[in-house]
Amino acid sequence: MHRAFRSHNETTACVPHWDSLIHSEDTYNVFRKVFERAYKSLRPEKIMIDMSDVEENAIRSIFPSVNIQWCLFHILRAISQQVRAKLVLESISDNKRAHQAVISQLKGMMWENSRAEYTRKLSQFIQEFSIYPLFQEQLFG
């Protein structure tokens, strides 16, 4: 696994990193110490990580103002798993069609840079998929 760092001098460095221990708060201090020793001198502006609260908390304790971005590959994988688990229709073909439509729209929202356009797409998504109330209830809780 690699982490992408953007430092103050506008260079991007991919830094080898491990993920096997970063699963609970018990490993927070170990991760923090290793991360601080290895990367403190980089002074990054941005860091890309997997969706890990433990990892994010450790990084924020060292670099409080860094811009942390989640890995889009892992976000898409998690979204796909959630949609397939929570949107279950009568037939396999209906499931497949609905899953593809939902995932496609969610992907479109992920890449939005404009808050206004993101909000518009989110409203459209909620309206379009309101025909699946149980899915929306589970998704938006």
Model pLDDT, residue 48: 81
3-state helix, strand, coil in the chain (%, to 5): 60, 15, 25
For 17-51, what is each residue's pLDDT tens digit? Answer: 444 444 555 666 777 777 777 777 777 788 887 77
Contact by Cβ (8 Å): 70, 51: yes
At 141, is the pLDDT very low, low, confident or very high (cuts 50, 70, 90)?
low
- Average pLDDT over all residues of the chain: 74
Does this model's pTM top 0.85? no
Q: What is the pLDDT of residue 62?
A: 84
In the block, residue with structure tokens 């990892």 = 55
51 DSSP assignment? S
Answer yes or no: is pLDDT of 7 > 50: no
Per domain, the residue ranges of the chain are: 2-70, 72-140
